[in-house]
Amino acid sequence: MSPRTQAQNEVIREHSRQKILDAALRLFAVKGFDGTSVSGIAREAGVAKGLIYNYFKSKEDIVHQIVMSGISESDHVFAELMAQETAQDKMRFLFEFVRTYLKERYEYNKLLHMLAFRLEEFPGLIDIVVAKQTSMMPLFVGILADTGVENAEREAKLLSATMDGIGNQYMSLKEKFPLDEMIDLLIEKYCH
């Protein structure tokens, strides 16, 4: 008879919020941002349409929150990478991470790739994503230089494009693309 406590409410809220985020990510990955309707997300999440707006300001905000939570995850991964001993180990860790990431975060990755062409529609996002990318690059260059690669700047950008392309093709072709073989090849080339 007493109203719920704040803690109880927090649990309920977080549960609903996560159900919606999961459903949205699932649909965005398959049908794209415009192809996914808020009604569809509600249906997929098993909640009423209106509830979504208790947790998200707008459809854009759902994307925003999905990406933000992905970014905060990536910070952990990055810390782990930097904890590796040698430059070779760091590179290997990176490649292995890409392998796992592409396989297990397929939907999230697809969303990111689709967004790449329209970041300007998500004002809060673009700065954060760009900042992330530009802060990563020098570290990546450093690691590559440490493995003995000459002209590491150029090579880093090329390798970065290569991994981008691998992600791209894996998403388009799925099992028809030999992801494992490609990652192994990169390890072979860069972590001798």
Binding site for DNA (CB under 7 A): 1-4, 6, 8-9, 12-13, 15-16, 36-40, 47-51, 53-54, 58-60
**Residues 83, 164: contact at Cβ < 8 Å?**
no
With CB cut-offs between 5 and 8 Å by kind, which of its own copies, DNA, none does residue 185 bind?
Answer: its own copies
With CB cut-offs between 5 and 8 Å by kind, which of DNA, its own copies, none does residue 168 bind?
Answer: its own copies
Residue 36: CB atoms within 10 Å: 22
Longest dimension (CA), the chain: 71
Stretch that binds its own copies, among 8-16, 90-98, 115-123, 142-150 (CB under 8 A): 115-123
Stretch that binds its own copies, among 8-16, 71-79, 84-92, 177-185 (CB under 8 A): 177-185
* Residue 16 touching its own copies (CB under 8 A): no
With CB cut-offs between 5 and 8 Å by kind, which of its own copies, DNA, none does residue 15 bind?
Answer: DNA
With CB cut-offs between 5 and 8 Å by kind, which of DNA, its own copies, none does residue 174 bind?
Answer: none
With CB cut-offs between 5 and 8 Å by kind, which of its own copies, DNA, none does residue 105 bind?
Answer: none
Q: SS3 for the chain, per residue?
A: CCCCCHHHHHHHHHHHHHHHHHHHHHHHHHHHHHHCCHHHHHHHHCCCHHHHHHHCCCHHHHHHHHHHHHHHHHHHHHHHHHCCCCHHHHHHHHHHHHHHHHHHCHHHHHHHHHHHHHHHHCHHHHHHHHHHHHHHHHHHHHHHHHCCCCCHHHHHHHHHHHHHHHHHHHHHHHHHCCHHHHHHHHHHHHCC
For its own copies, which residue of 1, 5, 6, 34 counts as binding (CB under 8 A)?
34
* Residue 94 touching its own copies (CB under 8 A): no
Q: Which parts of this chain interact with its own copies (CB under 8 A)?
A: 3, 31-35, 48, 110, 113-114, 116-119, 121, 154-155, 157-158, 160-166, 168-169, 171-172, 177-178, 181-182, 185-186
